[in-house]
Amino acid sequence: MSHPKRRSEVPDAQDTLITVPELRELLAAGSPPHLLDVRWSRSGPPPLEHYLAGHLPGAVRVDLGADLAGPPGAGGRHPLPGTAGFEATMRRVGVRGGEPVVVYDQRDATAAAARLWWMLRYFGHRDVRVLDGGYEAWERAGGPVVQGRGEEPSAPGDFTAVPGGMPRLTVDEVPGFAAEGVLLDSRLGERFRGEVEPLDPVAGHIPGAVSAPTFDNSAPDGRFRPPGELRERFRDLGVTSRTPAAAYCGSGVTAAHQVLALRLAGIDAALYVGSWSEWIADPDREVATGP
């Protein structure tokens, strides 16, 4: 891969997040961004139930499994869809290339919104942000919600998908990456160590990776920790603005949350989309366990 440029300053909000007050101000002014609801959970209610129970005014629902991933297989549980397929999906939900987009999930620690943020930026959209704290933060602040089947875009979008807008690590590049940078494993520590594995048939981690559970990037209320705290966290993990960094998880979802947190800290990192579920699809690839 071509290494991402190191960043010496924290990116502006257009790169990353929008707060609840900022979004409410845009809605009140009659200049709303295009809202996408991408709530998802492996174990909770189906995403459609969340959406029907309440969503932000004007938000169009996007499904992680159906819309943001290709068929599971050798490429992992949530491989990237093809460029043409993603473009068609984004046009169907009304995304336009020159229109700001805001994506949200239940709370940022659920990570689905970060996956869509990364994908839109990877495929060339330059103005996409994640609602910090997600739907829960919006609801706590008394933001208006809509119940029922909800929104359809007023017109099809015109978004043109061009891959390559964000750094990406392929499975063939993974083995040598830890020798020159830091490969962050975004799963919980017990999965990294190989003590439990609830989702994939093999437990453990990629040799040379560093355990960095993604949810440590969030405060208890689901919002991201301040950039200074994130920089300190990543510095303790061996990552600075001068360190090549990449993140993986089980299937490329929570690792996108890690990439977003790194960007808040002023660090551009690559995403290994296939992640652990792709890595172990080939039994000849080495597996490590323990700390």
The pLDDT tens digits for 102-132 are: 999 998 767 899 999 999 999 999 999 999 9
Tell me if residue 249 is catalytic: yes
Q: Give the mean model confidence (pLDDT) for residues 47-75.
A: 92
Answer for the pair 127, 157: CB distance below 8 angstroms, yes or no: no
| pLDDT > 50? residue 10 | no
Distance CA 141, CA 128 (A): 22
Question: How far out from the chain centre does Cα 103 lie?
Answer: 10
Burial class (CB in 10 A: 0-12, 13-18, 19+), 17: buried
Query: Which pLDDT score, from 0 to 100, does residue 45 have?
Result: 59
Query: Which pLDDT score, from 0 to 100, does residue 9 have?
Result: 39
| pLDDT > 50? residue 64 | yes
Query: Which pLDDT score, from 0 to 100, does residue 2 have?
Result: 45
Answer for the pair 112, 257: CB distance below 8 angstroms, yes or no: no
| pLDDT > 50? residue 4 | no
Q: How far is CA 240 from CA 1, 223, 244, 255, 262, in A?
A: 19, 22, 8, 18, 10
Distance CA 211, CA 204 (A): 11
Distance CA 251, CA 275 (A): 5
Q: How many CB atoms lie within 10 A of CB 136?
A: 18
Distance CA 184, CA 206 (A): 10
The DSSP output letter for 33 is P
Distance CA 110, CA 253 (A): 9
Nearest CA to 281 out of 198, 201, 208 is that of 201
Burial class (CB in 10 A: 0-12, 13-18, 19+), 284: exposed
| pLDDT > 80? residue 180 | yes
Terminal Cα distance for the chain, rounded = 27
**Residue with the two structure tokens 């007050």:** 21
Q: How far is CA 289 from CA 106, 148, 204, 241, in A?
A: 32, 47, 5, 29
Q: Which residue in the list 59, 137, 249, 259 is annotated as catalytic?
A: 249
Nearest CA to 95 out of 66, 121, 56, 132 is that of 121
Q: What pLDDT digit, counting tens, does each position of 65-87 carry? A: 999 999 999 999 999 999 999 99
